[in-house]
Amino acid sequence: DTAVSQTPKYLVTQMGNDKSIKCEQNLGHDTMYWYKQDSKKFLKIMFSYNNKELIINETVPNRFSPKSPDKAHLNLHINSLELGDSAVYFCASSQPGVVQYFGPGTRLTVT
Amino acid sequence: AQSVSQHNHHVILSEAASLELGCNYSYGGTVNLFWYVQYPGQHLQLLLKYFSGDPLVKGIKGFEAEFIKSKFSFNLRKPSVQWSDTAEYFCAVRGQAGTALIFGKGTTLSVSS
């Protein structure tokens, strides 16, 4: 009965590779988000989707591309991974203007 | 642009001590305010929120926070901390017209038994 789930939980990969992180929510929420938490634990919004439509796209390299096949899923694809991409990526969901629920996070390590 | 400032980077307390974590925000309009907690190795969980009404809000696990509009502050308090409160605490703000949360840099709370 997990509300917001992410896969994988850990991802270790080499520079230059392409990887994807998946997120699913079973709360019936219309809006989903990707946040990045850096090594200093600072959390910052990357993307926000409402009903499969991109509504926020912060200053993020275009190597990052979110994809929402339906409103319950928001995947994050990263091309040409760099060392600086190492972080914990959190997915979240909410109804507009209401509390956001966060997933367990995906710890990405780029070597 | 919206921003959130958490004054304490790392707070160390003994069990039963009282806690107050500072949070100030910068935003010109009406805001929603949140405190989230992240226990070691876990995801963010909502502690409490303020949308409107009584500026003193109570959350889970004995935490409370007071919204002081004139000071743009939303400080988190707990009268008596426990070892299990050891965690990262994040203050966040969202403008009512927006959707994404703007987080502070977090405060690490370490409670010794």
Question: How does pLDDT run across A72-82, given as a tens digit for each residue?
Answer: 999 999 999 99
Residue that the structure tokens 């219309």 belong to: A30
Tell me if chain A has a CB within 8 Å of the CB of B90: yes
Share of chain A above pLDDT 90, in %: 73
CA angle B2, B41, B35 (to 5 degrees): 30
Residue B15 pLDDT: 96
pLDDT band for position B42 (cuts 50, 70, 90): confident
pLDDT band for position B113 (cuts 50, 70, 90): confident
Residue B106 pLDDT: 95
Model confidence over B47-103: pLDDT tens digits? 999 999 999 999 999 999 999 999 999 999 999 999 999 999 999 998 766 678 999
Identify the DSSP state of B69: G
Least confident of A40-44, B16-20, B28-32, B50-54: B28-32
How many Cβ atoms from other residues are within 10 Å of residue B66's Cβ? 16
Alpha-carbon gap: B48 to the closest alpha carbon of chain A (Å)? 10
pLDDT band for position B4 (cuts 50, 70, 90): very high
Residue B97 pLDDT: 61
Instruction: With CB atoms and an 8 Å threshold, state whether A41 touches B105.
Output: yes
Contacts of A83 (CB under 8 A, 6+ apart): A15, A110, A111
Strands A10-13 and A106-110: parallel
Task: Give CA–CA dist B63/B48, Å, rounded.
Answer: 8
Residue A4 pLDDT: 95
Sequence length of chain B is: 113
| Higher-pLDDT residue of B3, A109 | A109
Residue B34 pLDDT: 96
SS3 B62: helix
Residue ranges of A 41-100 with Cβ closer than 8 A to chain B: 41-45, 48, 50, 55-56, 90, 94, 96-97, 99-100
Model confidence over A20-60: pLDDT tens digits? 999 999 999 999 999 999 998 899 999 888 887 887 777 78
SS3 B84: helix
Residue B98 pLDDT: 64
CA angle B79, B85, B87 (to 5 degrees): 130
Residue A57 pLDDT: 75
Residue B28 pLDDT: 75
Share of chain A above pLDDT 70, in %: 98
Residue B95 pLDDT: 79
Tokens for A43, please give them: 């959390």
Q: Is the previous residue joined to A8 through a cis bond, with omega within 30 degrees of 0?
A: yes
Question: DSSP readout, A61-111?
Answer: -TTEEEEEEETTEEEEEE-S--GGG-EEEEEEEESTTS--EE---EEEEE-
- Rg (C-alpha) for chain A, rounded Å, is 13
The Cα-based distances of A5 to A10, A20, A33, B26, B113 in angstroms read: 13, 14, 13, 32, 34
SS3 B104: coil
* Residue in B closest to A98 by C-alpha: B99
pLDDT band for position A1 (cuts 50, 70, 90): low
